[in-house]
Amino acid sequence: MLKTLSTVKITWVGAGSMAEAMIRGLVDGRKAPGENLSAINRSNAEQLAEFRDRYGIFTANDPEASDRYIREADILVLAMKPKDAAVALRRLRYQVDGRQQIVSVIAGLSIATIQSLLGRPLAIARTMPNTSSTIGLGATGISFSREMDEPSRDLILQMFKSFGEVAQVDEEQLDIVTGVSGSGPAYVYYLMEAMIEGGIRGGLTAEAARRLTVQTVLGAAQMVIATEENPGELRRKVTSPGGTTQAAIETLDSCHFAEGVTSAVLRAAERAREMGAELARSAQES
């Protein structure tokens, strides 16, 4: 049985950008005190010193302290790159004792593969956050193994809510979560690149085109939140018959814009499935 977010001990194995996004969300949002948090990595001492200074957490990469932080943790967050996961998890096998709840942010690594590398069917939360988590505006899909009890699930959901939106899904759906929100920021950046280019070709300075585009995207997302209307409804409201927006939308339709974006989401999900299968194979072989 776990504690509350303000009393639970959390250790990150891997101290990179995703670990930092989570730690910042918890510490800066005053959801968890730094003294209950720790992060360990492989060798980058400078990175650990920055984490210590910025967030007041404990850090280590020497074997003795790392071992202590792992054993004392209530929640252990796996935050290394997929290629490093097999080695790291095989080592952890001797340090986890079934008391720790395991949270993985590793893209593509299935619950079954994590349990197999750790040597037992431990309680696992597998998550798919996105890059906007680093500024507290993430979108995370999360799936729990059947071994995880309700209080632990609630606590882990709270932890991810400290840096954005969370959707609880079945594990198979994490691939489509990757297609929608995992890779999603890149589609929006692509749209923004094209809007800026249009502005420049139409005679604006690059700076003005950029500022107007950024504010337009921010304002449109905020409008969907504030009005609680569907994006389709909002689009119809701003599209007067025979007007400029209608002319623009017809041009997008002639380029199969909507179909292209939908296909992109589905293709990213398919690629996530392929990469997950490759990762499971190589993790078992290595």
Contact footprint for ligand NAP (CB under 6 A): 13-19, 40-44, 47, 79-82, 84, 87-88, 105-107, 129-131
Q: Which is nearer to ligand NAP, 16 or 211 (CB)?
A: 16
Residue nearest to ligand NAP (CB): 16
As measured in angstroms, the least distance from the Cβ of 13 to ligand NAP is 5
Token readout for 276 is: 């997950």
Please count the other Cβ atoms lying within 10 Å of the Cβ belonging to residue 201: 9
Shortest CB 114 distance to ligand NAP, Å: 12
Q: How far is the CB of 55 from ligand NAP (least distance, A)?
A: 14
Rank residues 23 and 196 by Cβ distance to ligand NAP and give the closer one.
Answer: 23
Q: Around 166, how many Cα atoms within 13 Å sit in the side-chain half-sphere? A: 18
**Closest distance to ligand NAP from the beta carbon of 197 (Å):** 26
Phi, psi angle pair for 144, to nearest 5°: -110, 145
CB-nearer residue toward ligand NAP: 11 or 213: 11
CB closer to ligand NAP, 15 vs 196: 15
User: How far separated are the first and last CA of the chain, in Å rounded?
Assistant: 34
> Cβ 85 to ligand NAP, closest distance in Å?
7
Residue 172 CA: distances (Å) to CA of 69, 110, 164, 175, 194: 32, 9, 22, 6, 33
Among 123, 85, 111, 179, residue whose Cα is nearest residue 1 = 123
Place of tokens 């997008």: 252
Q: Which is nearer to ligand NAP, 14 or 164 (CB)?
A: 14
